[in-house]
C-alpha cells in the first residue's frame, strides 16, 4: 500500500508502483501452446496501449495484468462531457447563400473564411467521451514471481493473468457479461491458498467515493463542463466485493480482503442518459439492480452465461491462413517480426480480434462503436473520441455483415435515427429545407452541425454515408422489418438533397454547395468546393437505394421517380490528365498540396460502394488504381485499412498484402493490436479486418467471388462462416492457391453466381439449402 497515494478522486502512481506494474526484470514467462485465437504477453502492461480490452457493448475495461498492483480502467458508453445542447450557428441561414455564391465564383478562400464565421458550430468543438474510473487492486507480499503470463482468449472473451508466487499459482480473470450487464473480476490461487487484496475505486472526474454496506465501493459524480457546455450528466461507478471465505474490512473508499479462497468483484457503471435530449435516468438504481441480480447468480452461473452468449456470436466464423515459426511468440513480438514473413496466422488473428472488438463495443446499447470503440482513459481524448462521419464511424462497421455480426449494427441504426431528428432541425434552421442532414462529426448529444472549422467540417454528407452502411444489412439479410425501419431515414435524407442541390453555373450539373472532399485541400487555398466526386458517388447510391426501397415496400412511387431523375443530373465520374479518377469536378488532383493525403474519398465508388468494378467498369477501375498509386500505400492506421480494401477490390492480392504489412507493424499496431493512427483509433482495426475478409471473399452485383485477391503468402488455408450479400454464407478450403472445396448455404433462398478466377457457376438455392463445390482443373464443379 505504501507504493500508492490514494485520495477520493485520483490515483497517483509512484515510480515504485510503476515498477511493480512492469516487473520486466522479475517476471519469467512460460511459453503457452500456440492458439489461433489468443493474444498473450510475458509481462504486465506498463502503458494503456499494452493493456487488454474487455467489453459488452455498453461497459468496457482495460486490464493491465499487474502483479503486486493491478489496474482495470473502466468506461461506460454514454458518459460524455457536457449535457444536451444546440450549437447551430445563428448566422447560418443568412451566411449560407453568400458562401454558395463565393464558391460558384471560384473564390474558395473567401468562401471558407465566411463559412468559419457564419456556418461553423458554436461552440466550435463537440463534447468528449469520458473515462468513468479505475478499479485498483493492491496485493501485499507478492514478489519473486515467475512463469508470468497474461492473455486475452478470443474464444472465451476473457482476459486472464497467471503467475507463480512462492508455491502458489495465482489466476485472475476479467470479463464483461452482455447477459448480466456487469464486469466480473475473479482472484484466486491454487491449492486453496488464501487471497489478500486491498480494493479501491479511483476516478479522474469530480466525484465522491464511499464504501457502503461494508462490501461495496461507490463513485458518484457529474460529467465535466467543456466548451462552455455545462456538465449535467450524472454517473455512478459501483463495485461489490464477494469473498464468502474471507474477512472484509471496510474503509473510506475501499475494501480490504484477507484469507479468502477466491474473491469476486462485480462492477457496473451507468449514467442518467436516456436519449440525446433526456438525462433523467437514475444511474444508482440501475447499478444496484444489475449488481444485486448478478450477485444472486454467483460466479459460476455468470461465467457460464457469458460464455454461452459470447460464443453464440463469436463462434460463427473461423479463419486459418497457416501457421509460421513466429506463431508461438508473445503478441507484441509477433507484431514486431511480422514483416519477416513467418507468421501468416497473425492476419487471421487480426480479423478475429476485429470481430471481438466490434462485439465488445457495439451491442446492447444505442451507442455504436466510437472513435476508440468503447475504451478511453483521457479527459481530453484526441478528436474527442466521438463519431467522425467522413470515414471513421462508417469504417467501424465494414466487417459487421461479412464477418457474421449483424447484431452489432443495431446501435448504428439507433444513432442515425437520433441524427434524423437533430438533423431535421438543422436542415430547417440552416437551409430552410425539408428532410435531415448531418455533417462530419457527432457526439452523444447527436449534434449534426459542422464543428472544428470549414477546412474539415463543411461536408454535408455524413448522414448519406451512414445510410449506405445501413443499406448493407438489407443486402446481406433481406430483412423487410429492417428495411421498413430504414426507409424513412433514407427518404428524409433524399428529401434534403432534392431540395438543396444547386445547378452549377460552370458545369450545368446539380451539386452540393458548399462541401469538400473530406479534409483534403484543392490547389486554390481551401478545401471548400462544390460537387466533389465523393458527394456525387454517395448521392448516386442514396437516390438509387431510396428508389429501390420504395419499390420493394410498394410506396412513394412518384418520390422514387424524383430521386432517379435527380440522380441523372449529378456530375459523372471523370478521368484526369494523369489517368486518375478525379477527386473534384476540376482536374486539380496533381496540383493539390497533399498529393499523398490520408483520405481517398473519391475512391468510395470502388469501395465500399460497387459503382466501380474491375469487371463492369474497367476504365474507371484503371483510373481508380492510378489514383491509389498516386496517393501511396502508407497513411494513418485507418487510411491503410481503407487501402487494403481498395487493393482487394482491384483484385491485387499481393499489393493488398504489402499494405497489410504496413498495418501489422509497430508503427501502426500497438502491442495490444490496437490500431495506431497514431494515437489509438479503432477504425483501423475494423478496416483492416474487413480488408482481409475482402481478399478472401467478395460479394457484390449478384456475384460471390472466391479468393478474389489471394496473396501468394497464403497458399493454403480455410474459412467458414463469412457472409455473402443475398443471404448466403460461405465456407472454403484452398491448397496451393486453388479452391479444393466450397460450401455455399442460403438463409432465405435466391440466385447467385459463384466465381473463381475464370470459372463461374450459377446457383439457385432454396431457403436453408446448402451446396458443395469443388475446384477441378481451374473450374468449379457442383458435387
At residue 539 the predicted structure's pLDDT band, cuts being 50, 70 and 90, is very high
Q: Would you say residue 49 has pLDDT above 60?
A: yes
449, 89 contact by CB (below 8 A): yes
Sign of CA dihedral 363, 366, 370, 376: negative
Residues 6+ positions from 533 with CB-CB distance below 8 Å: 517, 571, 573, 574, 581, 582, 583, 584, 585, 601, 602, 605
At residue 34 the predicted structure's pLDDT band, cuts being 50, 70 and 90, is low
What is the per-residue pLDDT across 64-88, written as a single tens digit (0 to 9) for each? 999 999 999 999 999 999 999 999 9
Cis peptide before 736 (omega within 30 of 0): no
Q: 446 and 565 share a domain?
A: yes
Range of the domain at 162: 4-81+128-315
Tell me the average pLDDT of the chain.
Answer: 95
Q: Would you say residue 382 has pLDDT above 90?
A: yes
Residue 737 lies in a domain: yes
Q: Would you say residue 19 has pLDDT above 80?
A: no
Please return the burial class of 505, using the count of CB atoms within 10 Å of its CB with bins 0-12, 13-18 and 19+.
Answer: exposed
- Residue 170: which of 154, 184, 156, 186 has the closest Cα? 186
Q: What integer pLDDT is reported at residue 33 of this predicted model?
A: 54
Mean pLDDT of all residues in 258-274 = 97
Residue 577 lies in a domain: no
Least confident range from 4-18, 40-54, 320-334, 463-477: namely 4-18
Q: What integer pLDDT is reported at residue 26 of this predicted model?
A: 39
User: Last residue of some domain: 543, 572, 601?
Assistant: 572
Q: For 38, list phi and psi in degrees, rounded to 5.
A: -145, 130
Q: Would you say residue 593 has pLDDT above 90?
A: yes
Residue 668 lies in a domain: no
Q: What integer pLDDT is reported at residue 658 of this predicted model?
A: 98
What is the per-residue pLDDT across 79-117, written as a single tens digit (0 to 9) for each? 999 999 999 999 999 999 999 999 999 999 999 999 999
Q: 378 and 310 share a domain?
A: no
For residue 216, the domain's CATH number is 2.70.98.50
At residue 20 the predicted structure's pLDDT band, cuts being 50, 70 and 90, is very low
Q: Would you say residue 1 has pLDDT above 50?
A: no
Q: 30 and 117 share a domain?
A: no
Share of the chain above pLDDT 70, in %: 96
Q: Would you say residue 662 has pLDDT above 50?
A: yes
Residue 638 lies in a domain: no
Residue 627 lies in a domain: no
Please return the burial class of 749, using the count of CB atoms within 10 Å of its CB with bins 0-12, 13-18 and 19+.
Answer: middle
Determine the Cα–Cα distance for residues 543 and 281; give it in Å rounded to an integer. 39
User: Last residue of some domain: 530, 545, 572?
Assistant: 572
696, 722 contact by CB (below 8 A): yes
What is the per-residue pLDDT across 343-355, written as a single tens digit (0 to 9) for each? 999 999 999 999 9
What is the per-residue pLDDT across 685-716, written as a single tens digit (0 to 9) for each? 999 999 999 999 999 999 999 999 999 999 99
Pairing of strands 168-177, 158-165: antiparallel
Q: 114 and 221 share a domain?
A: no
Q: 20 and 108 share a domain?
A: no
For residue 480, the domain's CATH number is 1.50.10.10
Q: 143 and 237 share a domain?
A: yes
Mean pLDDT of all residues in 658-678 = 97
For residue 772, the domain's CATH number is 2.60.40.1180
Q: 492 and 551 share a domain?
A: yes
Q: Which one is predicted more confidently, 11 or 743?
A: 743
User: Last residue of some domain: 315, 338, 356?
Assistant: 315
Share of the chain above pLDDT 90, in %: 93
Residues 6+ positions from 292 with CB-CB distance below 8 Å: none
Mean pLDDT of all residues in 220-230 = 98
Q: 256 and 376 share a domain?
A: no
Determine the Cα–Cα distance for residues 264 and 216; give it in Å rounded to an integer. 12
395, 468 contact by CB (below 8 A): no
At residue 35 the predicted structure's pLDDT band, cuts being 50, 70 and 90, is confident
pTM over 0.85? The answer is: yes
Number of Cβ atoms within 10 Å of the Cβ of 231: 19
Q: 527 and 395 share a domain?
A: yes
Q: What integer pLDDT is reported at residue 192 of this predicted model?
A: 76
- Residue 358: which of 374, 342, 344, 346 has the closest Cα? 374
Q: 111 and 231 share a domain?
A: no
Q: What integer pLDDT is reported at residue 13 of this predicted model?
A: 34
C-alpha distances out from residue 185 to 263, 303, 376, 405, Å? 8, 10, 20, 26
Mean pLDDT of all residues in 385-402 = 98
Residue 608 lies in a domain: no
Q: What integer pLDDT is reported at residue 80 of this predicted model?
A: 98
Q: 287 and 167 share a domain?
A: yes
Residue 611 lies in a domain: no
- Residue 135: which of 183, 101, 91 has the closest Cα? 183
Q: 261 and 393 share a domain?
A: no
Q: Which one is predicted more confidently, 410 or 167?
A: 410
Mean pLDDT of all residues in 756-781 = 96
Residue 348 lies in a domain: no
Number of Cβ atoms within 10 Å of the Cβ of 564: 13
What is the per-residue pLDDT across 399-426, written as a single tens digit (0 to 9) for each? 999 999 999 999 999 999 999 999 999 9
Question: How many structural domains is the chain composed of?
Answer: 3
3-state secondary structure of 85: coil
Q: What integer pLDDT is reported at residue 32 of this predicted model?
A: 53
Mean pLDDT of all residues in 190-203 = 92
Cell reading at 127: 463534447
Sign of CA dihedral 634, 636, 641, 643: negative
Mean pLDDT of all residues in 285-308 = 98
Determine the Cα–Cα distance for residues 675 and 682; give it in Å rounded to an integer. 6
Q: Would you say residue 562 has pLDDT above 50?
A: yes
Q: Would you say residue 646 has pLDDT above 50?
A: yes
Q: What is the dihedral of CA 114, 119, 123, 129, to 10 degrees?
A: -120
Amino acid at each position: 500500500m505504501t507504493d500508492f497515494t490514494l485520495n477520493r478522486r485520483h490515483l497517483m502512481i509512484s515510480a515504485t508502483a510503476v515498477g511493480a506494474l512492469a516487473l520486466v526484470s522479475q517476471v519469467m514467462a512460460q511459453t503457452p501452446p500456440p492458439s489461433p485465437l489468443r493474444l498473450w504477453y510475458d509481462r504486465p502492461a506498463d502503458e494503456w496501449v499494452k493493456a487488454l480490452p474487455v467489453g459488452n457493448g455498453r461497459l468496457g475495461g482495460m486490464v493491465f495484468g499487474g502483479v503486486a498492483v493491478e489496474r482495470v480502467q473502466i468506461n461506460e458508453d454514454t458518459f460524455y462531457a457536457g449535457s444536451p445542447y444546440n450549437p447551430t450557428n445563428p448566422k447560418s441561414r443568412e451566411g449560407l447563400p453568400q458562401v454558395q455564391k463565393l464558391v460558384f465564383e471560384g473564390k474558395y478562400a473567401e468562401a471558407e473564411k465566411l463559412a468559419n464565421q457564419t456556418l461553423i458550430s458554436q461552440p466550435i468543438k463537440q463534447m468528449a467521451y469520458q473515462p468513468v474510473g479505475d478499479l485498483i487492486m493492491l496485493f501485499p507480499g507478492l514478489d519473486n514471481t515467475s512463469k508470468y503470463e497474461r492473455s486475452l482468449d478470443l474464444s472465451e472473451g476473457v482476459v486472464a493473468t497467471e503467475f507463480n508466487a512462492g508455491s502458489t499459482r495465482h489466476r485472475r480473470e476479467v470479463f464483461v457479461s452482455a447477459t448480466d450487464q456487469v464486469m466480473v473480476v475473479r482472484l484466486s490461487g491454487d491449492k486453496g491458498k488464501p487471497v489478500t487484496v486491498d480494493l479501491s475505486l479511483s476516478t479522474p472526474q469530480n466525484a465522491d467515493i464511499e464504501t457502503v454496506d461494508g462490501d461495496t465501493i461507490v463513485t458518484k459524480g457529474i460529467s465535466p463542463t467543456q466548451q462552455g457546455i455545462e456538465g449535467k450528466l450524472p454517473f455512478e461507478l459501483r463495485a461489490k466485493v464477494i469473498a464468502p471465505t474471507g474477512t472484509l474490512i471496510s474503509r473510506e473508499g475501499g475494501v480490504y480482503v484477507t484469507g479468502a479462497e477466491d474473491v469476486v468483484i462485480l462492477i457496473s457503471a451507468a449514467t442518467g442518459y436516456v436519449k440525446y435530449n433526456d438525462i433523467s435516468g437514475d444511474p444508482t438504481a440501475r447499478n444496484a439492480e444489475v449488481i444485486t441480480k448478478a450477485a444472486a447468480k454467483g460466479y459460476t452461473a455468470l461465467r457460464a452465461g457469458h460464455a454461452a452468449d459470447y460464443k453464440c456470436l463469436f463462434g460463427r466464423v473461423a479463419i486459418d491462413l497457416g501457421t509460421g515459426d513466429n506463431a508461438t511468440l508473445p503478441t507484441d513480438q509477433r507484431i514486431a517480426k511480422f514483416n519477416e514473413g513467418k507468421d501468416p496466422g497473425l492476419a487471421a488473428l487480426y480479423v478475429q480480434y476485429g470481430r471481438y472488438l466490434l462485439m465488445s463495443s457495439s451491442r446492447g446499447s444505442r451507442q455504436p462503436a466510437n472513435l476508440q470503440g468503447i475504451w478511453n482513459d483521457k479527459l481530453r481524448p484526441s478528436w474527442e473520441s466521438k463519431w467522425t462521419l467522413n470515414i471513421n464511424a462508417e469504417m467501424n462497421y465494414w466487417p459487421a455483415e461479412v464477418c457474421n455480426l449483424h447484431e452489432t449494427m443495431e446501435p448504428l441504426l439507433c444513432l442515425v435515427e437520433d441524427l434524423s431528428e437533430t438533423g431535421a432541425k438543422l436542415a430547417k434552421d440552416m437551409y430552410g429545407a425539408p428532410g435531415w442532414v448531418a455533417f462530419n462529426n457527432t457526439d452523444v448529444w447527436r449534434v449534426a452541425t459542422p464543428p472544428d472549422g470549414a477546412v474539415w467540417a463543411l461536408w454535408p454528407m455524413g448522414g448519406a454515408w451512414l445510410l449506405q452502411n445501413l443499406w448493407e444489412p438489407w443486402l446481406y439479410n433481406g430483412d423487410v422489418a429492417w428495411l421498413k425501419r430504414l426507409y424513412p431515414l433514407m427518404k428524409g435524407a433524399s428529401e434534403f438533397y432534392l431540395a438543396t442541390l444547386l445547378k452549377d453555373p460552370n458545369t450545368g450539373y446539380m451539386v452540393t454547395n458548399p462541401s469538400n472532399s473530406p479534409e483534403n485541400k484543392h490547389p486554390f487555398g481551401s478545401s471548400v468546393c462544390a460537387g466533389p466526386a465523393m458527394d456525387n458517388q454517395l448521392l448516386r447510391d442514396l437516390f438509387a437505394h431510396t428508389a429501390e426501397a420504395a419499390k420493394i415496400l410498394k410506396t412513394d412511387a412518384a418520390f422514387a421517380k424524383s430521386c432517379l431523375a435527380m440522380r441523372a443530373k449529378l456530375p459523372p465520374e471523370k478521368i484526369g490528365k494523369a489517368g486518375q479518377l478525379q477527386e473534384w469536378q476540376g482536374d486539380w488532383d496533381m496540383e493539390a498540396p497533399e498529393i499523398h493525403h490520408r483520405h481517398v474519398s473519391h475512391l468510395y465508388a470502388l469501395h465500399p460502394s460497387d459503382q466501380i468494378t474491375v469487371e463492369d467498369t474497367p476504365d474507371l477501375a484503371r483510373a481508380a488504381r492510378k489514383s491509389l498509386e498516386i496517393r501511396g500505400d502508407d497513411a494513418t492506421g485507418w487510411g491503410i485499412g481503407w487501402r487494403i480494401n481498395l487493393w482487394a477490390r482491384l483484385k491485387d492480392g499481393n499489393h493488398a498484402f504489402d499494405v497489410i504489412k504496413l498495418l501489422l507493424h509497430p508503427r501502426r499496431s500497438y502491442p495490444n493490436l490496437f490500431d495506431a493512427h497514431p494515437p489509438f483509433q479503432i477504425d483501423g482495426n475494423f478496416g483492416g479486418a474487413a480488408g482481409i475478409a475482402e481478399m478472401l471473399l467478395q460479394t457484390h452485383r449478384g456475384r460471390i467471388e472466391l479468393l478474389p485477391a489471394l496473396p501468394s503468402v497464403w497458399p493454403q488455408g480455410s474459412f467458414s462462416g463469412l457472409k455473402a450479400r443475398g443471404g448466403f454464407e460461405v465456407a472454403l478450403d484452398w491448397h496451393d492457391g486453388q479452391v479444393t472445396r466450397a460450401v455455399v448455404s442460403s438463409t432465405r433462398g435466391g440466385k447467385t453466381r459463384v466465381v473463381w478466377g475464370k470459372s463461374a457457376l450459377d446457383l439457385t438455392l432454396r431457403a436453408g439449402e446448402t451446396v458443395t463445390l469443388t475446384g477441378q482443373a481451374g473450374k468449379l464443379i457442383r458435387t
